[in-house]
Amino acid sequence: MLEKKLNMKLLKEKYGVCRLDKKEPIPNWGIDGEFYSITKTEDELSIVCLEDNIPEKIQCEKEWRVLKIEGPLDFSLVGILAAISNLMAKNSISIFAISTYDTDYILVKEKYIDKAIMVLVNDRYEVARQVT
């Protein structure tokens, strides 16, 4: 029997990916919740946070769900994101990936999350859904 690849967990909330001006301070609404990610570059301040926290006039892309790869993952592991992104691409599912020290997070649009989970499970990933 083939062994499962990795354990993943679907976070229960919906998230948004926001773009702010690079000179703006990190807003309080962007750091409220169990999961958020902030990246500042020479071009922008990018925030991934709970969709319900995002003010109306903020430039953002909403309706994202988050799949967490259960970690911690060792830095010597190779190809985890490549394998998942290739799998999603072969099934016409766009992703937004975030990596942290311990693990990786795969964001998938809400309308494709069931398909993404089915594709992952069929490829021997285990995906658990959080209970509200």
Q: State pLDDT tens for residues 71-114.
A: 877 776 768 899 999 999 999 999 999 999 999 999 999 999 99
Q: Is residue 45 part of a domain?
A: yes
Enter the tokens of residue 104: 């990786």
Q: What range defines the domain where residue 112 resides? A: 7-129
Q: Is residue 1 part of a domain?
A: no
Q: Is residue 106 part of a domain?
A: yes
Q: Is residue 83 part of a domain?
A: yes
CA distances from 27 to 20, 24, 54, 63 (A): 10, 8, 10, 20
Range scoring the smallest mean pLDDT among 17-21, 50-54, 70-74: 70-74
The count of structural domains within the chain is 1
Residues 6 or more apart from 77 whose CB is under 8 A from it?
Answer: none
Write down the pTM of the prediction. Answer: 0.90
**Overall average pLDDT of the 36-55 stretch:** 98
Say if CB 130 and CB 9 are below 8 A apart: yes
| CATH code (residue 14) | 3.30.2130.10
Say if CB 98 and CB 37 are below 8 A apart: yes
Q: What is the CA 70 to chain-centroid distance, rounded?
A: 13
- Distance, in Å, from the CA atom of 73 to the CA atom of 127, rounded to the nearest integer, reads 16
pLDDT score, position 21 = 97
Backbone angles phi, psi at 25, to 5 degrees: -75, 160
